[in-house]
Amino acid sequence: MPPVPTYPPSRIRIEDPQPSIDCGRHPAKACVGDTVDVEATIFKDGHDVLRAVVRYRAAGPDDDRAPWHEAPMRRIDQHVGGDRWAGAFPVTAQGRWSFTVEAWTDQFATWRSEIERKVAAGQEDFAPELSEGAVLLRAIAQRAGDDSVDGRQLHRLADHLTVDAALDPALLELAERYPDRTASAVLDAPLQIDVDRVRARFGAWYELFPRSWGGLAGVAAQVPRLAALGFDVIYLPPIHPIGVTNRKGRNNALVAEPGDPGSPWAIGSAEGGHEAISPEIGTLGDFERLVETCREHDVEIALDFAIQCSPDHPWLTEHPEWFQRRPDGTLKYAENPPKRYQDIYNVDWDCEDWRGLWEALRDIVQLWVDRGVKIFRVDNPHTKPLPFWEWLIADIRSRDPDVLFLAEAFTRSAMMRALAKVGFNQSYTYFTWKNSRWELQEYLTELTRSGMERYYRPNFFANTPDILSEYLQHGGPPAFAPRLLLAATLSPTYGIYSGFERFEHVAVRPGSEEYLDSEKYEIKHRTLDGPLLPLIEAVNRIRRRHPALQHLTNLQFLETENDALIAYAKRHGDDVIITVVNIDPHHVQEGVVVVPYELGLPPAFAVRDLLSPAERYDWMIGRNYVRLDPGFRAGHIFEAVPR
């Protein structure tokens, strides 16, 4: 039999505290400046009045000594038997924050509630109850300090306590300043919040291959223009030396022709491995100048981190123990049927020197951090061990919390969620394949309402070098504007791969998502002159000016009465944005946007189309007519404005 407790345990229960990821196994996520909403179910036997607070503190050099702060919690479901409570606290600095919930019985409020009910029932003799109240007031005076101003006032009230005085709201307010928490309940262990810089939540990415822009120096020359277009992050595929053995040719041909540059993901040659820069695109000095140019224009470099090696990578001779050989002594190249990657080998995560492998990979990341890279797009993290990522990300960010990791994983939902839980700050999504109205609404509801929003930050890439969706292939140029509008207004973070602005949409073969003449295997001659750039610039400008578009969970879908039209609203403070998109790239579509009262707008209001600011319409709560011609305008981004 279990022993009898030394002290009486608290009779208050605190259950299902949120945000809590896997019962506290992983931290939830927030960004500097956010308000963290906290909820818990709090109850006790009987009918006592309860009070609760959320206690929180920021990470510091000595976490055990960091001061705790408090914010009140209030019951949020007022129906009979409702026991759900909510509170909130601000996070003002990066790092790992802790929070807990504390609840206690308010003895004075409980006594006062009994007096109220007895008065309502017509009871007249309150002498016994008033004597009990006097005892409670003297105990409160002692906690306030008997000789303090409040203490002396409480003693005077106790000496001459009446029913009217007992029910005075001012007395309740005074008593609540000095609660008795000696029998309070708290969570068994604090929960945690990882607080990142705002770039983890909000930003516009542009992906490019440096070799198609004149190398690193050529990319640096484009930075001012990319910054003017509103991009915050320039993402570079691997910039390392490319192997020669089994080098791929154009359109993934097994045999490269003379002059074929090979795939940047076939990392490693005689010139070096993951620590080196391909001589074909520049030098370390060129890279340092690129990073400095980006810094001058408030743009960041995101570097690809791909854990794979060409047959010519130095590690194959320096560390053969890191690679698994078949019984005949050969190495097995990478495969993801039906895709085959004859030009790369994967490392052996189960090798005896796994610690050495982990540390070498960590050192590679730290090397590029020291060179000024603060964002890493990680290639196929779902094919590597989760414990490795949890360790590596924590190790790197313990020295530099500015570093962010994007998980490029298009795989099973459980694995994508797990990667976010173990530390990835952003994640690729299924957005590319969600094209119908119901698919988008269902998927965004999952991202914003299922609990994923507490730890999973989506990055909506409209295309990638590996993914040319059927929607873009078959929709042609008119399909690109709707996908841009959706990506940029549904998600706070989105990206495009160069060529998107030029409507590149021809696949290598029917049924494939690979581009014809893919840039992965050949050098293009890129320039920033695509016909979609004016719309991209306008959308990025709108995103920066409107806080409503910089958040995810404020999304509310609106009825359109036409499945070819999708409409949704986002509100942040007084900033209200309503977006309507025609997702049919072939036909004019008409419908309505039904604005609900819950959006908080007046019965009649005006909207201004931010994509065409001269256009202003009178709208109202209820049905509002819209018509969108894909040849002229794919959508509206409306700002609700005072009339």
Q: Which residues are catalytic?
A: 379, 408
The count of residues in the chain is 643
**Using H for helix, E for strand and C for coil, what is the string for 370-432?**
HCCCCEEEEECHHHCCHHHHHHHHHHHHHHCCCCEEEEECCCCHHHHHHHHHCCCCEECCCHH
Whether omega before 338 lies within 30 degrees of 0, making that bond cis, reads: yes
- Cα–Cα nearest to 256, from 525, 524, 523: 523
For residue 438, give every residue at least 6 positions away whose Cβ sits within 8 Å of its Cβ, in sequence order, or none: 563
The dihedral region occupied by 28, where left means phi > 0, alpha psi between -120 and 50, and beta the remainder, is: beta
Burial class (CB in 10 A: 0-12, 13-18, 19+), 86: middle
What is the C-alpha to C-alpha distance for residues 199 and 373, in angstroms, rounded to an integer?
14
What are 185's two structure tokens?
């309940």
Burial class (CB in 10 A: 0-12, 13-18, 19+), 25: exposed
What is the C-alpha to C-alpha distance for residues 543 and 540, in angstroms, rounded to an integer?
5
What are 237's two structure tokens?
């595929």
Give the CA distances from residue 392 to residues 401, 409, 537, in Å, rounded to whole numbers and listed in that order. 13, 17, 36
What is the C-alpha to C-alpha distance for residues 625 and 632, in angstroms, rounded to an integer?
17
The dihedral region occupied by 498, where left means phi > 0, alpha psi between -120 and 50, and beta the remainder, is: beta
What are 221's two structure tokens?
């020359």
